[in-house]
Amino acid sequence: MRIALAQINVTVGDFVGNLAAIVAAARDAYQLGARLVVMPERYFAADPKPYVFELDGVRCAILICEDIWYPAAVQEAKAAGAQLLLVPNGSPYHLGKDNLRTDIVRARIRESGLPIVYVNNIGAQDELVFDGGSFVCNAQGECVARMPQFDAGIALVEFDGATPQPSKIAPELSLEAQVYAALVVGVRDYVEKNRFPGVLIGLSGGVDSALVLAIACDALGPERVRAVMMPSCYTAEISIADARQMASRLNVRYDEIEITSVFDTFRLSLAKVFDGLAEDTTEENIQARIRGTLLMALSNKSGSIVLTTGNKSEMAVGYCTLYGDMAGGFAVIKDIAKTLVYRLCRYRNTSNAFVLKHIIPERILTRAPSAELRANQTDQDSLPPYEVLDAIMQQYMEEGRSGADIVAAGFKPEDVARITRLIKLSEYKRRQAPIGLRITSRAFGRDWRYPITSRFNEVL
């Protein structure tokens, strides 16, 4: 018996398009000699009992998605006479999810002694990315076939009765390769499925916007990407030079819109009501909001969507400006910590997976990060080192550890208290941020249920 695993990319509500994808996959599988095609699952109604059918003398049971998490569902299928388990899935990606799926499947195999065919979606739906990685395990829990992550396709696996025969196993991707591919797929599907003609990116000469620009070009092609540099009196010449250089390397449309005169007009308009008050973050935020307004104006004129460039570290502690750098339609790296941003840039510059390498100027990766909203500013003027911030954020927000536990793990009490307090106080900003891609096991948004109005900030 020959079984086909079909990784297909579907769109919610696109009944005609989804049906066409299913029929095309079934036709291709039939032409390749498959007797059975297993497709992904996401939006099917469940049957309260296991469904068992016979094909070529083998009794097959269908367990949909999370059914496989529960031993009782597998035992019910086995009691109904199943010899082979077929598990259609719509399992969203996050870091470590591929290993988690394999561990769950192997646990069910140890309990039941039944081989399993696991088929997953690929593509993206709003915040969620589906990575595929469909696989087959034999009755000993050995993986005998595995499809690539983030690629649509069909894989054929031969069965001798209910026993799968060894087939092609796709190589595992590194962490950086997985995350980068997830971001590319997420951007491509969000833009394509929502029919935006292109994207706009505020290019600052910094690392975050550089990464987002690279992802957008890989997802959509440079012809659908427009980079806009908006320098002020505080923008370093090297930032402008690096932005120009990267835009040139990627061959994207590049515009420069000077904002100093607009900023001066704002200051003049506010001079009377601000009389006697020292300059502070108010003036910094005005610059960010000018840039946000300009990008949204270009978006209105062109129909292209603005991709914001804020990372998870900044979103966590509120190092971002409402209606400024947060203004846009899709937050590509909102679940990517700053330290991972650098790793992804290094990966994109050096990986042989890309024909065009070294697209991000080295100086962007080596100079101190800065918002460039005041003279001689760096991020570390306002924040702890990102290595510290990210580690505390991960333990507190993603792993759910208490402040006391994080201090016990070796972090300074003052750093833990400051970062956890900022995370709590910044919830009102995050609620107004655009949606963005989920990459970790816990992202801000649907995974993070935290009240804006509370007194939790008074507790470590």
pLDDT given at position 15: 80
Q: Which pLDDT value is given to residue 45?
A: 59
- Give the angle 393-306-348 at the CA atoms, nearest 5°: 60
| pLDDT confidence of residue 47 | 66
Give the whole-angstrom CA distance, residue 119 versus residue 289. Answer: 45
pLDDT the model gives residue 3: 86
306 vs 99: CA distance, rounded Å: 34
pLDDT the model gives residue 156: 94
| Per-residue pLDDT at 26 | 87
pLDDT < 50 stretches in the chain: none
Kindly give the pairing relationship between strand 253-256 and strand 225-229.
parallel
pLDDT at 276 (0 to 100):
94
Could you report the per-residue pLDDT of 430-441, keeping only the tens digit for each? 999 999 999 999
Terminal-residue alpha carbon distance, the chain = 60
Q: What is the pLDDT of residue 459?
A: 54
Show the tokens assigned to 115. 């081989």
CA distance 326 to 270: 23
Enter the pTM of the model: 0.92
Residue 455: predicted pLDDT: 76
The per-residue pLDDT for 43 is: 53
Could you tell me which of 226, 206, 156, 164 has the C-alpha nearest to residue 314?
206
Buried b / exposed e across 379-406, counting CB within 10 Å, b at 16+? beeebbebeebbbbbbbbbbeebebeeb
Which alpha helices (DSSP H) does 326-456 contain, by range?
338-350, 362-366, 386-393, 403-408, 413-425, 427-430
CB-based contact 309:332 (threshold 8 Å): yes
Dihedral angle at the C-alpha atoms of 353, 357, 361, 362, nearest 10 degrees? 70
pLDDT digits (tens, 9 = 90+) for 413-424: 999 999 999 999
Nearest partner of 112 among 80, 138, 139, 145, judged by Cα: 139
How many Cβ atoms are within 10 Å of 56's Cβ, its own excluded?
Answer: 13
Torsion of CA 299, 301, 304, 305, to 10 degrees: 20
* Residue range 123-161, pLDDT digits in tens: 999 999 999 999 999 999 999 999 999 999 999 999 999
Place of tokens 């590319």: 184
pLDDT score, position 46:
61
